[in-house]
Amino acid sequence: MKGGEEYGNPDRIDYMFKVVVVGDSAVGKSQILSRFTKNEFCLDSKSTIGVEFQTRTVTINSKLVKAQIWDTAGQERYRAVTSAYYRGALGAMLVYDITKRQTFDHIARWVEELRLHADSSIVIMLIGNKSDMVDARMVPTEDAVEFAEEQGLYFYETSALNGDNVETSFLKLLDEIFKVVSKKRLEEGNVGLPLTSVGTKIDVISSQDFEISEMKKISSCSC
């Protein structure tokens, strides 16, 4: 697998993968997304309101893959809004804070919600964020590894602050999605068809699942 930015003609995109980033509030979901898509970390971070999104295009197996990544608010009052966006998601980054045990204890509920609303073949990456805060750790790595193995999830610990494993985990997720989609195409006998816009691209103009005022595209420092 090779991951990298796209600098050429956007019309050359071979795949469009929708990914959602979920987890409790204040675990660093927006910071992880900002680190992956813009290599930024905002010290003045604000809670996400509703649903925001960002994109990045990478190369996987010589194909240009555009990841459309949705950052969903962790607050309970937005759960009904964001649940509509699980539909069509091919992958999910499920994030907890290694310094807050409660955010890890809620992971099972998030997995249940993903499997209820998303496609059965969704690829889920469990992320223990804030790995740089070693002295404040409340969730042993072993606990997360055990849970991930039980649930069939991929797992990394990351630091949005210094970037550790952020790139690696996202590229691993996209690579596994690529494998799932490629396998489906082979099973369906679509090998010879153009590989364009695979997955679901949300039309935010016509979407009736929530008020447009509840969504904004990520600005330069709304992470």
Per residue in 136-145, pLDDT (tens digit) is 999 999 999 9
Per residue in 176-204, pLDDT (tens digit) is 999 999 998 888 765 444 443 443 333 33
* Contacts within 8 Å (CB) and 24+ apart, 163-171: 163/35, 163/39, 163/41, 164/131, 164/132, 165/131, 166/32, 166/35, 166/36, 167/3, 167/36, 169/93, 169/125, 169/127, 170/36, 170/67, 170/93, 171/1, 171/3, 171/58, 171/60
Average pLDDT for runs of 10 along the chain of length 223: 45 89 90 91 58 87 94 61 75 97 96 89 97 97 98 97 96 97 81 41 33 35 41
- With beta carbons less than 8 A apart as the criterion, state whether 172 and 125 touch: yes
What is the structure's pLDDT at 42?
Answer: 73
Q: Name the CATH superfamily housing domain 10-214.
A: P-loop containing nucleotide triphosphate hydrolases (3.40.50.300)
Percent of the chain at pLDDT exceeding 70:
70
Percent of the chain at pLDDT exceeding 90:
54
pTM for this predicted structure = 0.78
